[in-house]
Amino acid sequence: MPTSPRLPVGDVTAPVLTDQDGPPFVVINSDGAADCLLVCDHASNTIPQRFGELGLDEARLQEHIAWDIGAAAMTRRLAERLNAPAVMAGFSRLVVDCNRYLDDPAAFVEVSDQVEVPGNASLTAEAKKERAEALYRPYHAEIDRRIEGGLLSGRVPAVVAVHTMTERMRGEDLRPQEVTVCWARDGRLAVPFMRRLETVEGLVVGDNDPYGLDLGEDYTVPEHAMRRGLPHLQIEVRQDLVGDTAGALRLADLLYDAMAEPLASDAACGREYHWPLEGDVQPRR
């Protein structure tokens, strides 16, 4: 079946999403019974028809600048193992980064890991708003809807954010960390999860290294979980370990083994407020 030609970059006459594009988010295991919600901000490298390839070639869209390689496969596996629902963003972080505040320049990157993104050059405020309304806000609204539904029914859902990280950044040496736990202030789940990971022979575990949970920069966990006092995890897995299906399933099973008990513990059953606190600078949502 012939495919329709890609619309040229900058065609402002077309909507952000057309009938040929998928939805702004995908829900996996929608009826999962666990008191847990998995989220994956960078699950996809898909670019809406409207934007062509943002001026990049196809090879660039397979790289880490466009998505978290292996994160979607791990999220699907964790949803199955935990019997938990998962919400995954439907489009590339290059169009709009769902883990950034919209007034952060990193939400609409013009350069990513030394690669220029021509389709993002000199975006107007209206162009950014259009992308946000079509892609970013529906994704976060679905996360809100599911969390609020759980709270209304008397449940306290834990939020688990799945990310992957490149094995090298900007030509630097190989990162030794294979799994990194990103957390700030609230270690109810992060610390016991990390301690269990550290018992896995040969696994190099990072504690906020090379990435942490950056309050005021990261959006999803702070806004959806920490602002509500919910237990949470944010995980980074090195991409060279999960670049194929077998690797993604193996690492997801390893993560499951480490998180299942903490998620079932008393620590995951209540609400504790660690952010924002008095004196914290409030990002503009």
| pLDDT tens readout for residues 48-71 | 999 999 999 999 999 999 999 999
* Residues whose CB is less than 8 angstroms from the CB of residue 10 and which lie 6 or more positions away in sequence, other chains included: 119
What pLDDT sits at residue 33? Answer: 97
- 125 domain-assigned: yes
Low pLDDT (below 50) residues in the chain: 1-8
- Give the integer Cα–Cα distance in Å for 150 and 5: 43
260-281 confidence digits (pLDDT tens): 999 999 988 899 999 999 999 8
Residue 285 inside a domain? The answer is: no
In a domain, 101, yes or no: yes
- Kindly tell me the sign of the dihedral angle through the C-alpha atoms of 143, 18, 20, 108: negative
- pLDDT tens for residues 114-135? 999 999 999 999 999 999 999 9
* Lookup result for tokens 């892609």: 135
Contact yes or no for 160/38 (Cβ under 8 A): yes
Distance CA 36, CA 13 (A): 41
How many domains in the chain? 1
What pLDDT is recorded for position 11?
60
Would 222 be classed as within a structural domain? yes
The reply to whether 284 falls in a domain is no
Q: Report yes or no on 15 lying in a domain.
A: no
Around Cβ 115, how many Cβ atoms within 10 Å? 13
| Residue 110, domain member (yes or no) | yes
Range of the domain at 112: 25-268
- Between CA 181 and CA 202 the distance in angstroms is 17
Q: How does DSSP assign 107-120, residue by residue?
A: GG-SEETTEE-GGG
Whole-angstrom distance, CA of residue 238 vs CA of residue 225: 24
Q: What CATH number corresponds to the domain at position 88?
A: 3.40.630.40
Q: Do 20 and 142 meet the contact criterion of CB atoms below 8 Å apart?
A: no
The residue type at 73: A
Within-domain flag for 5: no
